[in-house]
A = this chain, B = another copy of it.
Amino acid sequence: MPAPTGHEVLAAVLQIRAGTLQVLLWQRGREPDRGRWALPGGRLGDTEDVEESVRRQLAEKVDVREVAHVEQLGVFSAPDRVPGARLVATSFLGLVPSDADPEIPEDTAWYPVDDLPATAFDHAEIVRDARDRLRAKLSYTNLGFALAPREFTISALRELYAAALGHPVSATNLQRVLTRRGVLAATGETAAPGPAGGRPAAVFRFTERALRVTDASAVLRPPGVREGERAEPAVGG
């Protein structure tokens, strides 16, 4: 019989801040890895499952009402991933829209995912997996809803996608693709021109605020289901 194992949950909460994809970290005040930066989380409680646990523990670091999407990333289970008794981690990806500015505790800060401080344990690897999952899902789902404000111009959305993906994005192509997939809808409003002047810009919103695969080929959909109606499985992704 194997030795008993502890179980923890860890969340990589991502937000685009100042044009950069950032992750919420807190600085450990105790050994092991004192002074290093860690993901929010902690031990799985006796009466909760991992989904309940991550929401409870995130609530200690950030107003969880600001988290627009949470999904399981994966299990980190190398026998020596933390010193001492064995601890298996279920990791989560969380996303906060760019217009939220959640209050966070004093030991907590946002860092660019591509310029992390000294991190604890295997947490840098979890951040990298979260970033890669986000990038992959932006390409075949409507997950942009969890990064964007409720309403936005295409120019603003382009900047969010470029920051998340880490490469330039064409506003024209982005609008064309997301409209064709039924992901975006015009609100009928316009935004005032920016300081550089120009015409007022059309304002858009995401048609839905729950994850779905948008890019499935018609040939692989059941008869009678229109593009974009196929739901994403709830767990894992």
Contact = CB atoms under 8 A, between A and B. Distances in A.
Interface of A: 1-7, 43-50, 72-75, 77-79, 86, 88, 90, 129, 132-133, 136, 138-140, 161, 165-170, 173-174, 176-177, 213, 215-223, 230, 232-233, 235-237
A78 B3 CA distance: 21
A215 B88 CA distance: 34
B2 A139 contact: no
Given A44-B77, A90-B75, A235-B74, A216 B139 contact: yes
A219 B3 CA distance: 50
Contacts of A174: 219-220
Nearest to A125: B235
Contacts of A216: 136, 139-140, 215
B46 A136 contact: no
Contact of A129 (B3, B74, B219, B233): B233
A76 to B, nearest CB: 8
B75 A173 contact: no
B77 A49 contact: yes
- Most chain-B Cβ atoms within 10 A of its Cβ — which of A216, A218, A232, A236? A236
- Most chain-B Cβ atoms within 10 A of its Cβ — which of A46, A220, A235? A220
B129 A235 contact: yes
